[in-house]
A and B are shown apart, each in its own frame.
Chain A
Amino acid sequence: MSRLNPQMHPLLNSPVLEALLAKNIYTVLNFIETEIKHIVAITNLQYKEVLGIRKHLINKYAAVTRDGVSYYNEIITKSALFSTGIKRLDSILQGGFLTGNIYEICGLPASGKTQLNLTLVRNVAQNSILNVYYIDTKNDFSGRKLKAVLDASKTDEEHVKQIMSQILVKKVDTVHDLINTLYEIKNLLYTKTIKLRLIIIDSLPPLFYSISDFSKRYGLITTMVNVMHVLAKEFHTAIVVTNVLTTSYENTSTEDISGKIGLGKYWYNVPNTRLTIKKFENSSECSIIIAKSNRLLEGAQCNVKITDAGII
């Protein structure tokens, strides 16, 4: 909860604040939880005045109530469904990416996750004039590859430059970098400095697997998820993250090597839609399956092809 400060209410001047701090009343919540009489005794303010401050703070800092109809109308007018630029993927996603959702792409190492991300970022930048964020955690983003993909798809030079300028790349090293980045994007969207529909994070495990303390790891995942939800729901963006699948033979009764999803149980339930990408052996084709979704048909599958011009 926010700390009390003089800007909150004219009566909360510095002597009053100092008196409150001396009695361990630091935050808005502390203030509201303390009995009014007690505050009167500490601050020498009138009972009525304290009541006024209290009311003001509650109004300002409580969660906002919104009625269903206006919320619905906001969602309807501000949401967008945009194409991924890959026809077969669009068809299993029923049109493409829907803002307000967190999508996860998971797959075994070297199954084409980064290839898919590069294609997505290219397609989305190509089909609109908005910015697209590409947050890169292990230096996988390659400008040369992106350029090669654009050249192979016979885009003219001016357009290539235009597309590549729309794509904003953030190379992060730690989870703190990532959280700072997400808050920065949030502030830029809040002040309407940039417009965007898609944020890609490739990939999550490198940020979290390097933290050995489990409780710290999950604390930071939670913080990241909170700001992701705000970006997705309130600022109407779609977030695509990649995650690793690992083969495990723990259930040795079957030959099935479906794999284990990284980052643990809590994260497992965060993405609204999970896509599993699987590469066929000795072929440039991949299959993409909807492994989990609250809206789409689970198990829907499509085959895509990795070409020099990206994934089609």
Chain B
Amino acid sequence: MHQPVHSLSLPECKLRELQTSEFNYCKDLDASMPYLDQLMKPPVTKTALEVYNEECQQGCVRTFVEPLDNVLGGGIPLGEVTEFCGEPGSGKTQICFQLCISVQLPTWCGGLNGEAVYIGTNCDFASHRVKEIAKRIMDRYVLFEAKHSFGNIGLNEINVELIMERISYINVSDYTQMLLIVTYLKDWLHDHPTVKLIVIDSICAPLKPLDGSQRTTIAYQLLQDLQKLAKEHNFAIIVTNNITTRFTCSSSYLAPSLGDNYYHRLNNRIYLCKKSSNVFKAVLLKSLFNSQTEIEFSLIS
């Protein structure tokens, strides 16, 4: 049994051209056909041991909310899609801001020394809030450095201005822009190899106007392209999502938007809600490391 030509990732017109001249199997294609090796090349095989060693080396994005890091098996894993969902005011955006900053901390204190990309869809990137949080984190960092840096005080490796510089903000207003931005990032990331985190806040706004199957397709395309990049450049993907009402025949209940097909595509889902002014509750709804777990925590105000 031979591999058929139409299984190759070729544009429709090229496939038709090959088919009309009766090239049906890949083995019949001339080796001189451009990129044939590339087209037929399967991804590399790794043993589970190799995968494990790589994962241990690359680390993960720590939230610095200890109980949350613990239930996630160390932090938000690189290469995976993690969703924070919750009602407005449940701390989704705030935790995203915090992560954009904490990912930049030096590795010796648990950061990844990386840059962050923040893709906003509601035009609500509150730079003054980011700056405030950055200041708070820097205050803590200075204290921490004094205690733990074994005499290397005053390294000046990080400051508020630098933090603000290393967050790239992109605003998108619809799903075509969102898909295009991923194509754009492909080249952009080559000049910014230290990006460790990409945030989409929120993913549901641009997808909302689409109907059922198209919405699934676009969401899958977007996450597929992003994850492909994430594998190459080693960054974590964080998206936020709203809560909506779902109806059964007799009752209704609250659930994160975009439905089950979209939910399947995610690697991790964390539900957030606000308990009191600065106390939040997080429920780990989907994760390989822990079954449904509830934790309470406070964010840096």
Residues in A lying within 8 Å of B, measured CB to CB: 1-3, 5, 26-27, 30, 108-110, 114-115, 118, 121, 134, 138-148, 161, 163-174, 176-177, 179-181, 183-184, 186, 203, 205-206, 209-212, 219-220, 223, 226-227, 230, 244-247, 249, 252-255, 257, 262, 282, 284, 306
Among A121, A246, A284, max chain B CB count under 10 A is at A246
Mark each residue of chain B from 244 to 265: 1 if its CB lies under 8 Å from any CB of chain A, else 0. Answer: 0001111000000001110111
CA distance A262 to B259 in the complex (A): 13
Contact call A179/B47, Cβ cutoff below 8 A: no
Is B149 in contact with chain A by the CB < 8 A criterion? no
Contact residues in A for B43 (Cβ distance below 8 Å): 170-173, 177, 181
CA distance A139 to B216 in the complex (A): 19
Is B162 in contact with chain A by the CB < 8 A criterion? no
Contact call A179/B7, Cβ cutoff below 8 A: yes
CA distance A179 to B41 in the complex (A): 10
Among B28, B43, B259, B265, max chain A CB count under 10 A is at B43
Contact residues in A for B286 (Cβ distance below 8 Å): 109-110
Query: 5 A-B pairs, CB-CB below 8 angstroms?
Result: A1-B24, A139-B80, A169-B45, A170-B44, A180-B40
CA distance A141 to B45 in the complex (A): 13
Contact call B55/A180, Cβ cutoff below 8 A: no
Is B129 in contact with chain A by the CB < 8 A criterion? no
- Contacts A114-B288, A161-B49 given: A2-B2 contact, CB under 8 Å? yes
Contact residues in A for B261 (Cβ distance below 8 Å): 205, 209, 244, 246, 262
Chain A min CB distance to B223 (Å): 8
Residues in B lying within 8 Å of A, measured CB to CB: 1-4, 6-9, 21-25, 27-28, 39-56, 73-74, 77, 79-81, 214, 216-217, 220-221, 223-224, 227-228, 230-231, 247-250, 259-261, 263-267, 269, 285-286, 288-289, 291-292
Contact call B263/A109, Cβ cutoff below 8 A: yes
User: Interface on chain A toward B: helix, strand, loop, or mixed SS?
Assistant: mixed
Q: Which of A142, A246, A247, A253 contacts B55 (CB 8 A)?
A: A142
Contact call A2/B9, Cβ cutoff below 8 A: no
Contact residues in B for A205 (Cβ distance below 8 Å): 220, 261, 264-265
CA distance A254 to B248 in the complex (A): 9
Contact call B267/A3, Cβ cutoff below 8 A: no
CA distance A262 to B292 in the complex (A): 25
CA distance A118 to B21 in the complex (A): 45
Contact call B248/A139, Cβ cutoff below 8 A: no
Closest residue of chain A to B45 (Cβ to Cβ) is A168
Contact call B220/A210, Cβ cutoff below 8 A: yes
Contact residues in A for B51 (Cβ distance below 8 Å): 141, 143, 169
Contact call B42/A177, Cβ cutoff below 8 A: yes
Chain A min CB distance to B275 (Å): 20
Closest residue of chain B to A246 (Cβ to Cβ) is B260
Q: Which of A161, A181, A247, A252 contacts B260 (CB 8 A)?
A: A247
Contact call B52/A210, Cβ cutoff below 8 A: no
CA distance A252 to B247 in the complex (A): 10
Contact residues in A for B227 (Cβ distance below 8 Å): 138-139, 173
- Contacts A164-B48, A249-B247, A255-B248 given: A143-B55 contact, CB under 8 Å? yes
Chain B min CB distance to A298 (Å): 24
Q: Which of A140, A184, A249, A253 contacts B288 (CB 8 A)?
A: A140
Contact call A170/B45, Cβ cutoff below 8 A: yes
Contact residues in A for B25 (Cβ distance below 8 Å): 2-3
Contact call B47/A167, Cβ cutoff below 8 A: yes
Chain A min CB distance to B176 (Å): 13
Contact residues in B for A244 (Cβ distance below 8 Å): 260-261, 264
CA distance A27 to B4 in the complex (A): 14
Contact residues in A for B52 (Cβ distance below 8 Å): 143-144, 146-147, 164
Among B23, B81, B265, B286, max chain A CB count under 10 A is at B265
- Contacts A142-B77, A147-B52 given: A2-B28 contact, CB under 8 Å? yes
Chain A min CB distance to B268 (Å): 10
Q: Which of A134, A139, A206, A306 contacts B48 (CB 8 A)?
A: A134
Contact residues in A for B42 (Cβ distance below 8 Å): 170, 172, 177, 180-181, 183-184
Contact call B220/A206, Cβ cutoff below 8 A: yes
Closest residue of chain B to A178 (Cβ to Cβ) is B42
CA distance A142 to B291 in the complex (A): 15
Contact residues in B for A161 (Cβ distance below 8 Å): 49
Contact residues in A for B79 (Cβ distance below 8 Å): 139
Closest residue of chain B to A30 (Cβ to Cβ) is B22
Closest residue of chain A to B237 (Cβ to Cβ) is A139
Contact call A144/B249, Cβ cutoff below 8 A: no
Q: Which of B48, B224, B269 contacts A169 (CB 8 A)?
A: B48
Q: Which of A2, A183, A282 contacts B24 (CB 8 A)?
A: A2
Closest residue of chain B to A211 (Cβ to Cβ) is B217
Closest residue of chain B to A260 (Cβ to Cβ) is B260
Contact residues in B for A114 (Cβ distance below 8 Å): 288
Q: A168-B46, A252-B249, A253-B249 are in contact. List 5 more A-B contacts (CB 8 A).
A: A2-B27, A173-B224, A211-B217, A223-B4, A223-B7
